[in-house]
Amino acid sequence: MDGIEGLYVGVDPSLTSPGLAVVDAAGKVLFADSFSVRRDVRGAARLVANEAWASETLSKLAKPLLRACIEGPSLGSTHREFDLGEGSGVLKRAVYHYGAVEPIVIAPTRLKLFATGKAQAEKVDVLHAVKNQFGLDLKNNDDAADALMLAYLAWALDHSSQLTRRSQLEVVRDVLNPVVKQKRVRLNTKTNL
């Protein structure tokens, strides 16, 4: 997709502080920030606020959306599956409404591997990776940092020839060519006569 003008979006679907980032076709960062929802805003009101912020931010863009990546749920999150799914869903809807592109879901460990070279990296490591790679100091805004690395991953899916880090190439390869797990067939060794 080299030469095509368009944008790449990354979304960190936090319920209380969703992150959104945009990278242009040259890999330049255009936007990286998060939206803080007031603590007293919960349920459907929080979902509406998150979607409105993402939609308003995306509506200011003037170029077509080429790809988008959104962080998938952490498998360690307990008893919040429905809330997290709703939060992710409204942000996916905002992205799709803007550019008719289905966001690619990226597992948190794959995002960390892409950003830092370590699948078990800490949030601060991703912040350092953003500062080292893009020269941006996002302070402690780890949601914006995650979103930026997701936007860069979306960009890298179309520009992998420009990547030099093995871990980034590995993640791009895995996203573009996912391994389909085969179901195991169990043979019934007991026969009823």
pLDDT given at position 180: 82
Q: How confident is the model at residue 75 (pLDDT cuts 50, 70, 90)?
A: low
pLDDT given at position 12: 97
Average pLDDT value for residue range 68-75: 88
* Greater pLDDT, 16 or 7: 7
Q: How confident is the model at residue 189 (pLDDT cuts 50, 70, 90)?
A: low
pLDDT given at position 183: 77
pLDDT given at position 185: 75
Task: Pull the structure tokens for residue 38.
Answer: 């007031």
Check: CB of residue 70 under 8 Å from CB of residue 103.
yes
pLDDT given at position 96: 95
Q: What is the DSSP string of 127-145?
A: HHHHHHHH----TT-HHHH
Question: Tell me, what amino acid is at 32?
Answer: A
pTM (2 d.p.): 0.89
Q: How confident is the model at residue 37 (pLDDT cuts 50, 70, 90)?
A: confident
Q: How far apart are CA 116 and CA 2, in angstroms?
A: 25
The Cβ-side half-sphere exposure at 82, using a 13 Å CA radius, reads 3
